[in-house]
Each structure stands twice: as C-alpha cells, then as structure tokens.
Amino acid sequence: MTSTAASYREIRDANGRVYRVGETDRDLLGMSRAWMVWLPWFAMMAVSVFEYGFGAAASTVRHAHGWSLSQTFWLLSIWAVFQALVAFPAGRLREKGIVSARAAMLAGAVLAATGFISIAHSDSLMLAYLGFSVCGGTGVGLVYATCINMVGKWYPERRGAKTGFVNGGFAYGAVPFIFIFSYALHPGNYSMVLDLVGIFMLLVVGLAGVFFKDPPKSWWPAHIEPLQWAASKSGAQSLQKNPPAVKQYSPMEAVKTGMLPLMWLSLGITAGVSLFGISYMVPFAKHLGFGPLIAASSAGVLSIVNGTGRAVTGVVSDRLGRKQTLLIVLLVSAVSLVGLLYAGNAKNQPAFLVFAFLVGFGGGAFYPMFASLVPDYFGENNNASNYGLVYSSKLVGSVVGIGVGASVIDNWGYTGAYWLAAASALLSAAVATFLRQPGRRPATAKPSRNRTAAKPVAQQDVAIAPNWAD
C-alpha cells in the first residue's frame, strides 16, 4: 500500500529548477522503483513484434490473403504513422491528469492485440488497415510512449542507462517471433499463430500496466540529495556531459527554442532509415537467394543488436554525452547500410550477417538518445508531451522509409534504395550537429553547498547549485 502522508521539501538551484525531495519510491509506489524499469521492459518486448517481426511474417500473410508486396508493407507504414501520431496527444492527456499511465497501458494492450487478430481472419485490405495499422499502431504508440516516459521520471539521475535498457526491449523482444514466423508460419496455420500473438500481447501488456504509476512532478529520489550528488565525482562526471535542463519547458516553449524542431527533423530522417533497414532486411536476403536460416538470422541479429545497442549507448551517453553518442550512432548507420548492400551483392553470407549486426545497432540506438536528450534539454515535467512531439516525426519517416521505400526498390532496385538510406543517415547527423541545450549559461562561480533543514509539505528550500557549462 502506498502512503500519501510522506513529507517532502523543494530545493531550487541557481537556474530556478525545482527538485522535490523526501518521498521514497516505496512511499509512492509501495514497492521499489526498479519495477518501473522491469514492467515497462516486459511490455516493450511484447509489442516489438509489430515493427521488428512483421518483415518475417509478411510473405506468408500476403500470399494467404492475395495481397501485393506494396499493399502488405503499406500496412506497416500506416501502422508506424499511428504509432508515432498518438505519442503527443497521449502525453498531454497524461500530464493534464485526464488519462493515467495505467489507463493508457490497458487501452494499449487491447488495441495492440486487435492488430494481429484483425489480419488473422479477413482478406479485406480495408479491415487490415483499420485493425492492424490504425488500432495496432495506436495501441503500440500508447505502450511505447508510456513506458519510455515512465522510466525517465523514476530515474532522473540515471536516465540514459535506464531509458536505453527499456527502449532495447522494443527490438530484441521480437527475436522469438522472427524465427517462429520464418519457420513455422504458413497459410495453413497463420490464423492460429497470429491469434496467439495477439493474446500474448494482451496479457503481458495488460498485467504490466496495472502497476504503472507516475511520480509527482519534479520528484527526485529521497536517498540522493540533488546538490550533493551534483558535487560528487559520479554526479559531476555525468552532469558535465549531460547537464540538466535549466527549466521545465512547456511544449510551446520548447518549440520556440528551435531545438525541438531540429530534434524532430533529425529523428524523422533517422527513423525512416531505420524502418527501411528493419522492413526490407528479410526481403533483401531472400532476393539475394539466401536461405531461410540466413534471412531469419539476419533479421534476428538486427533485432538483438538493435535492442542491446540501445542499452549500451544509454550507458555510454551518461559518460560521453548524448549528442556525441548520437552522432557516432548515425555515422555507424550510414556506413553499415552501404556495407550490407555490397556484402549481399557479393553473396558473402558471413559479411552480410556482420553488417546486419551494424545496421541493427545504428538503426535502434538513436531512439534512447533522443528520449534522453528531450528531458535533458527541456526538463521532466512535460516530457511526455515534449518527447511525443519529437517522436511524432516517425510518422513521416515511416511513410518514406517503408511505403516510399517499396517504390524506390521497384524503380531503383536495392542498390539505389540502400545508397539513398545511407545518404539520409548522414543528413540526419548533419542536422544533429546543431543541437545545443537551450538557456544554458557558462559557469561563473564555484558551486555553493548551502542547505537548510527540511520543511513541511508546500514549503520551499532555496539553495544554490552549479551552473554547468554546455
């Protein structure tokens, strides 16, 4: 049982940022905040089959229903539009207290399950677009946005590592399904298999969502005094590379800084590149004449590294810096796409798997970087809305990367498509070089450690914290 009587105090730093200190995670949740990492992770793994497993199921589904390749992959493209589109409105409703995190997860569980069940029982392309693309995309969007924002709010002092870990589940969770779809899915049993996938998502996401709860705004872990942590060796090392936002920006304020639109553009371009690589890995391998083992393994390797890469870069970014890590990821993405193309054309299967490894890393590790950059730049209190705005650019990337990607392959072949994807990754990196934390002033004085005794609820401590240089 949670307690509502725990007192807290508010500490304000030199930039006016407020830290709410005093309430423990057990006061607020009735359990350790670690559950707000594990439960989102399980839910993200459950719904990852949409984005990362669809390519392996596409051939069986389209032949069973009599759809063309383009019609089938437009299902995924429109799915990605709705998955990205729901992030901002869902975030605003959560921050206004109209929709709770628990309600968002339960709705997401039902809608996500509807997605796979809808393509299991009808040949109608229109019903498939409504069920899989609209309902499924909306459901996964609710789950994704809720999970990513949840972990960042409960771990403000270790955002990169924790966000990267949870974000990684959205990729490697699909690996078992990739092999099931590649080896066991056929027109004679696809309805049963897809029904079971839908039921699995309903149960896992629904059960996880029952326990979801947001912390109060500006909450900070009670056992970590924020000003002392900032002055500590580990805290100072992290904050030197990733200083906290100077204030809590509303969505409109974040847009006016100019940095949120830049993030939107960079993520949108990169998301298109990533979705292209994910969607056409198996079709490209089959086009080259590789057997089902190599085709499934390449997609499996991509998903595993896509997920683990997100976790690794989250940890690295805490030390190296989010922006610097993001630029490295985007450059790796560009080089690996070209390498995959030429390894495939050379029929070099070991090299093809190696570059599939690198494509997976580059195609996923940028997501937790943006998920962490947004609260680093604009604060945690409006993160669901601010990140929802940035993440909404994926809807443009999905149309270009998946839908338009099919047309590019038809007209230019895989060679032209992969070269265009690599050039796009470089363009995204160029845009990201202009990112700067808004409002950050150069440090002019040594940090003060002035502190006052804790006061009752609703009273405020004013203390001076360092001004970290950008």
Q: How confident is the model at residue 1 (pLDDT cuts 50, 70, 90)?
A: very low
pLDDT value at residue 358: 86
| Spatial distance between the Cα atoms of 251 and 132, rounded to a whole number of angstroms | 30
pLDDT at residue 170 in the model: 87
Q: What is the percentage of the chain residues whose pLDDT exceeds 90?
A: 36
Which is it for the CA torsion 230, 231, 234, 237, positive or negative?
Answer: positive
Average pLDDT, the chain: 83
Give pLDDT tens digits for 124-141: 999 999 999 999 999 999
Question: Can you tell me the distance from the alpha carbon of 303 to that of 55, in angstroms, rounded to the nearest whole number?
Answer: 12
Q: Residue 454: its pLDDT value, please?
A: 39
| pLDDT 10s digits, 73-131 | 788 888 988 998 898 898 888 888 899 999 999 999 999 999 999 999 888 999 999 99
Higher pLDDT, 275 or 219: 219
Short-list 246, 377, 359, CA closest to 306: 359
- Using one digit for the tens of pLDDT, what is the confidence trace for 261-272? 999 999 999 999
pLDDT at 463 (0 to 100): 37
* Pairing relationship of beta strands 18-21 and 460-462 according to DSSP bridges: unpaired
**pLDDT(465) > 60:** no
Share of the chain above pLDDT 70, in %: 86
Interstrand relation of 460-462 and 9-12 (parallel, antiparallel or unpaired): parallel
Q: Which residues are CB-neighbours of 157 under 8 A, at least 6 positions away? A: 220, 221, 224, 226, 229, 235, 238
Q: What is the pLDDT of residues 302-315, one digit of tens each?
A: 677 777 778 888 88
Task: Quickly state the pLDDT bin for 468 (edges 50, 70, 90).
Answer: very low
- The domains of the chain, with CATH numbers, are 14-226+241-434 (1.20.1250.20)
Q: Which residue has the higher pLDDT, 341 or 311?
A: 341
Band (pLDDT 50/70/90 cuts) for residue 444 is: very low
> With 80 as the cut, is the pLDDT of residue 227 above it?
no
* Joined tokens for residue 41: 């992770």
User: Model confidence over 10-59: pLDDT tens digits?
Assistant: 887 766 678 888 899 999 999 999 999 999 999 999 999 998 788 788 88
pLDDT digits (tens, 9 = 90+) for 387-439: 989 989 988 887 888 777 777 888 888 888 899 999 999 999 999 999 999 98
Residue 460 Rama label (left phi>0; alpha psi -120 to 50; beta): beta
Q: What is the pTM of this model?
A: 0.73
